[in-house]
Amino acid sequence: MEGIDPNRVDEIIDRYRGERGILIQLLLDIQAEFNWIPREAIMRISERLHIPKSHIYRIATFYKTLSLNPVGRHLIQVCLGTACQVRGGPKIMDRIKESLGINEGETTPDMRFTLRRVNCLGCCAMGPVVVIDGIYHGKVTPSEVKGILECYK
């Protein structure tokens, strides 16, 4: 397996050997280890657990939390649900895109940041909301974006 440690993939798979209904958690564990789900890991899961690759890809592409592309060290999620949108969420997204030089769904060339749009984070009263590595930043203003990003560089 090019680029990833095949022994590490096998160790993760072995934790679930013989259990049923473990594919989503297995993929989450693979992603936690490598920061994404490499093609080689999918091939190894398919081979070792006798799960069709098409089924693994179907699951991996259905859930937004799973990524088949390399993800930056810091995952930035900008809420653009209705409450955040009317409170300036699009301006926050624009400021982050401008600051990082990337668009939604992209990763900075140095693999430091990945930017994603989310439709709702369930904390509308805090809007607009930006989540970075699971840390919620509420009532964000465009002028605060640069300072927030600096904390993660």
In DSSP terms, 79 is beta-bridged to 118
What does DSSP say about strands 74-79 and 135-137: parallel, antiparallel, or unpaired?
unpaired
Same domain, yes or no: 103 and 52: no
Is 69 among the domain residues?
no
pLDDT in tens, the chain (153 residues): 456 888 999 999 999 888 889 999 999 999 989 989 999 999 999 999 999 999 999 999 998 789 998 889 999 999 999 999 999 999 999 999 999 999 999 999 999 999 999 999 899 999 999 999 999 999 999 999 999 999 998
User: What is the C-alpha to C-alpha distance for residues 59 and 30, in angstroms, rounded to an integer?
Assistant: 14
- Is residue 136 within 8 Å of residue 123, measured between CB atoms? yes
- Is residue 78 within 8 Å of residue 142, measured between CB atoms? no
Residue 39 belongs to domain spanning: 6-62
Is 68 among the domain residues?
no
Total domain count for the chain? 2
